[in-house]
């Protein structure tokens, strides 16, 4: 009954942690492609190939449902995976949908025409690859009209978080928020479009100011997954135990993940 969680590195652990709290009895198989992180500077074909490799490995662990807890993979590879590659008995879901559901206050199954929503000026903070894909804007356009999205590519933030340099990460976040505000002085809402960014959520909030509503992904994805599994219990795979897999150095990644989650985590080779 395992569910897989895929990420290019450690950021997806924020999603895993939220899912584990929401569904404590659900075995989770985590795949971190640390050897090839970060994905945010790779081209779409490269991201697609690496994502498919990781998804296949999670299928081997008994996961019929895999969550791409990586915005870059969701932006650059998910639609191609769903349309051309995935077998009918499997499912691969991304992390944009729960964000857009929350922002537009309408369920993904609501196929009525796009309509105006509560906010009109939205700041999107994401990796360079996610920003370049315009995937968030494309998906939002199916649901809402009249929303101006200003995207800020947050170069360096993921690397700093992965290296544990939170002082540098904080400085970079404040710099990127300043750059965004020069383009959109008064955003009404902000999307933290990377699963690493919840670790910097308070920094984003402080830099943006109290009048900006901040949407972060981990809890939204956990709630969405819980609802999905209630509606599709057949998508629970036959995996029985939680496991952490990495393409990187297991000892180093385990140490980083332990600091990341503030609890002992042991990775093994993927």
> Do the beta carbons of residue 37 and residue 71 sit within 8 Å?
no
CATH architecture group of domain 97-216 = 3-Layer(aba) Sandwich (3.40)
Q: Tens of pLDDT along 41-82?
A: 889 999 999 999 999 999 999 999 999 999 889 988 998 999
Tell me which residues are annotated as active site.
70, 194
pLDDT for the residue numbered 41: 82
Contact (CB, 8 A) for 7 and 38: no
CATH architecture of the domain 3-95+218-269 equals 3-Layer(aba) Sandwich (3.40)
CATH 3.40.50.1860 in the chain: give the residue spans.
3-95+218-269, 97-216
Instruction: Assess whether pLDDT exceeds 80 at residue 1.
Output: no
Q: Residue 114 — very low, low, confident or very high, per pLDDT cuts 50/70/90?
A: confident
pTM: 0.87
CB 226 within 8 A of CB 22: yes
* 163-214 per-position pLDDT tens digit: 889 999 999 999 999 999 999 999 999 999 998 898 899 999 999 999 999 9
Which of 76, 73, 140, 75 shows the shortest CA–CA distance to 108?
Answer: 140
Instruction: Write the pLDDT tens digit of every residue in 11-42.
Output: 999 999 999 999 999 999 999 999 998 888 88
Once rounded to an integer, what is the mean pLDDT over residues 132-150?
Answer: 90
């Amino acid at each position: 009954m395992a569910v897989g969680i895929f990420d290019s590195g450690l950021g997806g652990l924020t999603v895993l942690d939220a899912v584990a709290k929401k569904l404590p009895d659900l075995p989770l198989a985590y795949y971190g492609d640390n050897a090839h992180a970060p994905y945010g500077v790779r081209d779409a074909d490269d991201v697609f190939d690496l994502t498919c490799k990781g998804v296949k490995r999670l299928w081997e662990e008994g996961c019929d449902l895999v969550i791409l807890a990586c915005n870059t993979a969701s932006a650059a590879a998910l639609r191609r995976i769903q349309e051309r590659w995935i077998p009918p008995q499997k499912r691969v879901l991304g992390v944009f949908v729960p964000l857009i559901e929350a922002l537009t206050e309408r369920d993904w199954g609501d196929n009525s025409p796009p309509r105006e929503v509560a906010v009109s000026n939205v700041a999107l903070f994401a990796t360079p690859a996610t920003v370049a894909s315009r995937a968030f804007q494309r998906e939002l356009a199916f649901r809402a009209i009249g929303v101006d999205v200003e995207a800020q590519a947050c170069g360096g933030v993921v690397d700093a978080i992965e290296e544990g340099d939170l002082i540098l990460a904080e400085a970079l976040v404040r710099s990127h928020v300043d750059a965004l505000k020069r383009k959109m002085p008064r955003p009404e809402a902000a999307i933290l479009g990377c699963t690493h960014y919840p670790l910097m959520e308070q920094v984003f909030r402080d830099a943006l100011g109290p009048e900006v509503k901040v949407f972060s992904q981990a809890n939204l994805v956990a709630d969405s997954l819980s609802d999905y599994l209630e509606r599709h219990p057949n998508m629970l795979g036959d995996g029985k135990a939680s496991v952490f897999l990495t393409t990187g150095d297991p000892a180093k990644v385990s140490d980083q993940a332990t600091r990341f989650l503030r609890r002992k985590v042991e990775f093994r080779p993927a």
